[in-house]
A and B are shown apart, each in its own frame.
Chain A
Amino acid sequence: MMLGFSDSWVFAGFAFTIVSALFCVVYGILNWRKGGMEKEGDYREEIQWEREEIELIEKLP
């Protein structure tokens, strides 16, 4: 009996659910500072993207 389950497949699913959430937390912590600087302050492309996004949103009800 593992956590009250006698079926090891169900226990595995239950355990994997919790372990996968913990894995995501650890992943987030380990990569907390990674991926911040990419384009050395060149935001022209992003501004263009943002401008179009606003236009698109404006067309919605």
Chain B
Amino acid sequence: MFYLITFTLIYLTITVYFSYLGYRRTVTVSDYLLAGRQVHPVTMGLSYGATYISTSAIIGFGGVSALYGFGLTWLSFLNIMIGVWVAFVIFGKRTRKMGKALDAHTFPELLGRRYESRFIQGFSGLVIVIFMPVYTAAVLIGISRFIEVYLSIPFSTAFLAFLLITACFVIWGGLKGVLYTSAFQGIIMVVSMVAIGISTYYSLGGISQAHRSLEAITPMVPHYLQEAGHRGFASMPQAFSSIWWYVITTMIMGVGIGVIGQPQLNVRFMTLKSDRELNRSVPFAAIFILCTTGVAYAVGALTNVYFYNTYTELPLHAVQGNLDKIIPLYIDRFYPQWFVALFLVCLMSAAMSAGSSQFHALGTSLSRDIFEQALLKGKSVAETTIVTRIGIVLSIFATLIIGLVLPESIVAVATAFFFSLCGATFIPVYLFGLYWKRGTKPAAKASILSGFFVSLIWMLLFHEEEARALGLCRKIFNMESLAGHPWNMIDPQIIALPISFIVFIVVSLVTRPVREETVTKAFIHI
């Protein structure tokens, strides 16, 4: 307890200081000319990484990796290649230039102004406001599971307590210094995760030996998993089996591709001054992702060796099937108490950096996209502040309720759900908005609506995991899913994304383009 209180107090003091520093730096416009706003590439890289990688990657996907094994390493590849390189270079550079040219300050606003559509801005904002709390809940569940294991307190108490801490942080200025605090939080995450990665591999006799030991326990994989296509923790699942479809389309591609449509990440590019800062941030963000997700997924799989060697049981059984508890239990059982307290601070960093950016995106969507643009038709009024505050408080309540009603082993699933939904809804309009001048307003509307609703219908009626949890399909059709294997295992994004792409292209070709002046203005710096 001594370590926990000491580390937490040090962490919170530094976080509040950075928060204040970040806020002070954005106070005056003249600061901007004096390079007050210039963002150091390390700050940008770490801050982006800490926003992207949250407790859900470490706890949720670490736990998933403990169940499905090293196949998840493909997700860390996509996290780096798509989540960093493609996001920064292919999307980030043009987002920054177009964002400034169109005076856009939120992701929905960029889309709305590019296609001259208040509907697009309002609807995109609505998607964020309604569904972001699911992801925020997943992030907070991640850390709450750890607190539950570490302090042996009920999950609901841990969840409520941490949500209150995050809410206070957000309400007392957390949102104003997001960039600097998240960079500091990023450093804590890198240090802790690298320590876990090195100590895990070291104690298992090195990289190759650790992987060989993992292969050696393949016969221990439960029979029902083997039948579903599990071929061991150091192997990919059997091609085209149920587990293969699930791991590839939901866990790897859902998050790996869906990152491009994440509003709280895209908005970061607009705060940069030049492409040079973007170029320089790429290596730092990539190293960050390698050190955090790369380590989390590898350690997740290797927990099997640890638990088996020590207790002759797999971690899956040690946590009674709740995947979200595997990493917490591993850290709690196999590391000294001072490190466990440090790891909790690492998770706090991960939860707060992602959480504050999520509330930031949520608050700006509510005030600017929904209230001022969609409802007040572009007017800016003093009441916006009150509406935003009420909205954020309501979203904190929504997060609380969602967090308490969600079932076990949900962190990675809820994260994949949000990433997948954003991916299918936003990626085509975003990509064509940046690269294709011929894209039209009706096409953008149709693409967003088709991506969103096809995803939703697929989740409710076809994708067995969500369909079973939500129960609508059972009520109407008296079955778990309307489709058989493999369709019931294919992630909604894999179906909805191609559809929203095709809809965008086809509708663009038969409808009137966006006004010439708007297109010229949008592409003026490109």
A positions within 8 Å CB-CB of B: 1, 3-7, 9-10, 13-14, 16-18, 20-21, 23-25, 27-29, 31-39, 43, 45-54, 56-61
Contact between chains at B33 and A35 (CB < 8 Å): no
Contact between chains at A36 and B209 (CB < 8 Å): no
State the Cβ distance, A4 to closest chain B Cβ, in Å.
Answer: 3
Contact between chains at A4 and B280 (CB < 8 Å): no
Interface residues of B in 162-176 (CB under 8 A from A): 170-171, 175-176
Does B6 count as interface, using CB distance less than 8 angstroms? no
Does B61 count as interface, using CB distance less than 8 angstroms? no
CA distance A56 to B267 in the complex (A): 13
Find chain B residues with CB under 8 A from A54 CB: 26-29
Does B73 count as interface, using CB distance less than 8 angstroms? yes
Please list 22 pairs of residues, one from A and one from B, whose beta carbons are closer than 8 Å in the complex, sorted by A's number: A1-B208, A4-B215, A5-B234, A7-B70, A7-B234, A7-B235, A13-B74, A17-B73, A18-B294, A21-B80, A24-B282, A25-B286, A28-B282, A28-B284, A29-B283, A35-B278, A35-B279, A38-B275, A38-B525, A50-B37, A53-B26, A60-B175
- With A4-B210, A4-B215, A5-B70 given, is the CB distance from A49 to B100 under 8 Å? yes
State the Cβ distance, B357 to closest chain A Cβ, in Å.
Answer: 12
Determine which residue in B74, B99, B384 has the highest number of CB atoms from chain A within 10 A of its CB, and name it. B74
Determine which residue in A13, A38, A58 has the highest number of CB atoms from chain B within 10 A of its CB, and name it. A13
Contact between chains at A31 and B290 (CB < 8 Å): no
- With A10-B235, A57-B176, A60-B367 given, is the CB distance from A4 to B209 under 8 Å? yes
Contact between chains at B33 and A28 (CB < 8 Å): no
**Contacting residue for A43 out of B33, B170, B207, B278, CB 8 A:** B33
State the Cβ distance, B27 to closest chain A Cβ, in Å.
Answer: 7
- Leading 3 A-B pairs by shortest Cβ distance: A35-B275, A4-B211, A24-B286
Find chain B residues with CB under 8 A from A52 CB: 103, 105
- With A39-B525, A52-B105 given, is the CB distance from A5 to B286 under 8 Å? no
Contact between chains at A36 and B276 (CB < 8 Å): yes
Contact between chains at A34 and B276 (CB < 8 Å): yes
Find chain A residues with CB under 8 A from B103 CB: 45, 48-49, 52
Selected interface stretch from B81-89, B132-140, B141-149, B184-192: B81-89
Contact between chains at B32 and A27 (CB < 8 Å): no
Does B273 count as interface, using CB distance less than 8 angstroms? yes
Given A20-B85, A61-B363, 8 new contacts (CB under 8 A): A5-B215, A27-B89, A45-B101, A47-B33, A56-B367, A58-B385, A61-B389, A61-B392
CA distance A54 to B364 in the complex (A): 12
Contact between chains at B279 and A17 (CB < 8 Å): no
CA distance A47 to B31 in the complex (A): 10
Find chain B residues with CB under 8 A from A27 CB: 85, 89, 279, 282-283
Find chain B residues with CB under 8 A from A3 CB: 207-208, 211
State the Cβ distance, B355 to closest chain A Cβ, in Å.
Answer: 14
B positions within 8 Å CB-CB of A: 26-29, 32-33, 37, 41, 69-71, 73-74, 76-77, 80-81, 84-85, 89, 93, 99-101, 103, 105, 170-171, 175-176, 207-212, 214-215, 231, 234-236, 270-271, 273-276, 278-287, 289-290, 294, 360, 363-364, 367-368, 384-385, 388-389, 392, 525
CA distance A57 to B210 in the complex (A): 48
A-B contact count, CB below 8 Å? 175
State the Cβ distance, A57 to closest chain B Cβ, in Å.
Answer: 6
Find chain B residues with CB under 8 A from A18 CB: 290, 294
Contact between chains at A4 and B100 (CB < 8 Å): no
Find chain B residues with CB under 8 A from A29 CB: 283
Summarize B's interface: helix, strand, loop or mixed.
Answer: helix
CA distance A61 to B283 in the complex (A): 33
Contact between chains at B279 and A20 (CB < 8 Å): no
Find chain A residues with CB under 8 A from B285 CB: 24
Q: Smallest CB-CB separation from A30: which chain B residue?
A: B279
**Contacting residue for B29 out of A9, A21, A36, A47, CB 8 A:** A47
Find chain B residues with CB under 8 A from A33 CB: 276
State the Cβ distance, A17 to closest chain B Cβ, in Å.
Answer: 5
State the Cβ distance, A8 to closest chain B Cβ, in Å.
Answer: 9
- With A4-B234, A25-B283, A27-B283 given, is the CB distance from A46 to B32 under 8 Å? yes
Q: Smallest CB-CB separation from B213: which chain A residue?
A: A4
State the Cβ distance, B132 to closest chain A Cβ, in Å.
Answer: 15
Contact between chains at B279 and A32 (CB < 8 Å): yes
Contact between chains at B176 and A46 (CB < 8 Å): no
Q: Smallest CB-CB separation from B236: which chain A residue?
A: A9
State the Cβ distance, B219 to closest chain A Cβ, in Å.
Answer: 14
Contact between chains at A21 and B290 (CB < 8 Å): yes
CA distance A21 to B368 in the complex (A): 36
CA distance A7 to B389 in the complex (A): 52
Contact between chains at A45 and B100 (CB < 8 Å): yes
CA distance A60 to B418 in the complex (A): 24
Contact between chains at B287 and A25 (CB < 8 Å): yes
State the Cβ distance, B67 to closest chain A Cβ, in Å.
Answer: 15
